[in-house]
Amino acid sequence: MCKKYKIVHISQTPLVAAPAKVALAQRMSGHETVAIAIKDYPINGPLAGKFIEDFLIEDEFTKGIIDEAISKADIIHIHNDLPQEWTTRLLHANQTAKYVYQVHSPLREGPLYLPRDSSLGLPFSLKLVVGQFQPRIHQDHVFVPNIIHDTPSVRPRRKGEKLKVIFSPTHLRPGRWNNKYVEQLDTALQSLVKLGKIEAIIPDKPVSPKALMAVRRSCHVSIDEIATGGFHQVSIEGLAAGNVTINKADYFSKTVFSTFSNGEKPPFVYADGESIASTLEDFANDWEKTAEQQLVSYNYFKKHLTPIKMSSIFDKAYETL
């Protein structure tokens, strides 16, 4: 049985809830774990309040419990970055904890990120990286997964049912690895909607993760990005929702991710700007093919990607401490 730890996760912002999801999975596995976000996203911004449900954000009410968690922690797990005053605070409060650093972002892309593990002044014993496209950039880090807590489900497409497609990027910033937009996708979706082949759902503003997942469960196809060769958390959410999950993930990205699933590569459907229209039309014209691929997605998530199984990957990484 894996040793059970007292773990504190700390991030400057919610990082679309990724640290809190790790903490929740670890609590489900028997660890005593808390996630702290130093601040929410800007109050007037579109992401404010949407990703903090499972975080503690420090105020007069929570400061005592945060101080206690830090002082008693066996592991302090830092995500992406930390203000200098927090570095000083941690070192003063706890001289025995093991420090873990995890990076979620590509280099020098919005929101601008530079590696901080060597400059934070903390004695990191382990460096982790999200195991999607990121390991090709951060090459001396151990791979760990993003975790999805939604219970897997599937609503296979039925005969006579129009193909329902969702595309829901959190942003449209340009970049090598953060890019989530190609013009051909817009054209393909608009054309296929006009032809009556598909129903397209494209939120015009950020919505809560729970609402977005509820809508995704009603769809047959989730489109991630088809620009970079990587993929993002939405692809994992697509599998959990039993969707045909379309992205441009290349061999490297899928091979890295397969380390979390006993070597079985994720059942993503490949498309790029040139092929997205024909890929969607093929599924639109074949309800049985759609339903079969939906079941493949659902079964893969259920077999490999549940929170307890993903938490065990962090346990294995911590064993090196």
pLDDT tens digits, 233-266: 899 999 999 999 999 999 988 998 999 999 999 9
pLDDT: is 36 or 53 the higher one?
Answer: 36
With cut-offs at 50, 70 and 90, classify the pLDDT of residue 10.
Answer: very high
pLDDT: is 204 or 87 the higher one?
Answer: 87
Domain hosting 263: range is 163-304
pLDDT: is 291 or 256 the higher one?
Answer: 291
Amino acid making up residue 181: Y
Eight-state DSSP code of residue 228: S
Could you read off the pLDDT of 147-162 as tens digits, one per residue? 999 999 999 999 999 9
Express as a percent the part of the chain with pLDDT over 90: 71
With cut-offs at 50, 70 and 90, classify the pLDDT of residue 110.
Answer: very low
Q: 142 and 15, same structural domain?
A: yes
Q: Rg for the chain (alpha carbons), in Å?
A: 20
Q: 178 and 115, same structural domain?
A: no
Q: 36 in a domain, yes or no?
A: yes
Q: 233 and 199, same structural domain?
A: yes
pLDDT at residue number 131: 72
With cut-offs at 50, 70 and 90, classify the pLDDT of residue 137.
Answer: low
Cβ neighbours of residue 175 under 8 Å, at least 6 residues apart?
106, 109, 110
Q: 195 and 106, same structural domain?
A: no
pLDDT at residue number 205: 80
| b/e per residue 280-307 (b: at least 16 CB within 10 A) | bbebbeebeebbebbebbbebbbebbbb
Output the average pLDDT for the chain. Answer: 89
Cβ contact 293:270 at 8 Å: no
Q: 153 in a domain, yes or no?
A: no
Cis bond before residue 14 (omega within 30° of 0): no
Q: 189 and 277, same structural domain?
A: yes
Q: 158 in a domain, yes or no?
A: no
Of the listed ranges 105-119, 120-134, 177-191, 267-281, the least confidently predicted one is: 105-119
pTM as predicted: 0.89
Q: 192 in a domain, yes or no?
A: yes
For residue 96, the tally of other CB atoms under 10 A from its CB is: 8
Q: 234 and 114, same structural domain?
A: no
**196 backbone φψ class: left, alpha, beta (φ>0; ψ -120 to 50):** left
pLDDT: is 229 or 254 the higher one?
Answer: 254
Pairing of β 269-270 and β 163-167 = unpaired
Rounded Cα gap, residues 299 and 218, in angstroms: 17
H or E segment and range at residue 230: none
Q: 32 and 102, same structural domain?
A: yes
Number of domains comprising the chain: 2
Rounded Cα gap, residues 280 and 199, in angstroms: 11
Q: Which two three-digit tokens encode residue 6?
A: 């007292």
Rounded Cα gap, residues 105 and 137, in angstroms: 9
Output the CA torsion 260→264→268→269 (10° steps).
160
Q: 41 and 141, same structural domain?
A: yes
H or E segment and range at residue 17: none
Eight-state DSSP code of residue 135: G
pLDDT at residue number 161: 97
With cut-offs at 50, 70 and 90, classify the pLDDT of residue 134.
Answer: low
